[in-house]
Amino acid sequence: MRPYETDPQAIYAQSFATVQKEARIERFAPAMRPVITRLIHACGMVEIADRLAFSDAAAEAGSAALHAGAPVLCDCEMVGAGIIRRYLPAGNEVIVTLNDADVPDRAQRIGNTRSAAAVDKWEGRIEGAVVAIGNAPTALFRLLEHLEAGWPKPAVILGFPVGFVGAAESKAELAARPQGAEFIALRGRKGGSAMASAAVNALAVGIPEGTVQ
C-alpha cells in the first residue's frame, strides 16, 4: 500500500492550496475566492472556475444574509444534507419543501414538476433568503417566473441544477435575467447538490484558516 495522508487538517490545507494554485484564485475578487475554492473542492474540476457566472455583490450579500439569520431554501434534500449546520452563523433554518405532502397535488394543478411546485411554497420565506438549487432546472425556472411576477427578492440565488434537459438553459436565464437578485451559477450541464451546498458552506464560513487567499 502506498503511503497516504491521514491528518484531516493537512488534507484540507493541501486540497485548498492545490485548488487555489491551479485555478489561479487570486484573479477573482476576494469575497468570491472562498466560494470558488469550495466549489472546485466539491467536484474536483478546476476548470469550472472559468464557467462560473456571478453578480458583483453575490458573495457579500449571501454571507451577510446568513449572518443576519436568513433561512436557506433548498430544492432537494441532498442540498440540505450537504449544508454543515455547525458552520451556519446564526443557527439558520434549512428549508426543503420538496417532500411536503401537498406538493404532488400542487404539481398536477400547475402542470409542472414536483420541484417547481415545491418552489411555490417559498413565497412567505423568500425575501432576503439564501436560495440553493442543486438538482432541478424546473425549480430555478419556476423561481425566476415568480420573481418576474413580483415576488420579493432573495439575498442570493445559488444556481447549480445539473443534467441534460433544462439545466444549462435555466442557468443561462438566471445569468441573463436575474430579476434583480444577486446570483452565482455554473454555466452548462454540470452542477449538482454537492456544489450547491458547498456554496452555502463557503458563504457561511469561508475556508479554513491558514489556507492562502
Q: Supply the residues annotated as catalytic.
A: 41
- CB atoms under 10 Å from CB of 157, counted, come to 27
Q: Which three cell numbers stand for residue 125?
A: 420565506
Strand order in the sheet with 130-133: 52-54, 182-186, 156-159, 130-133, 72-74, 94-96
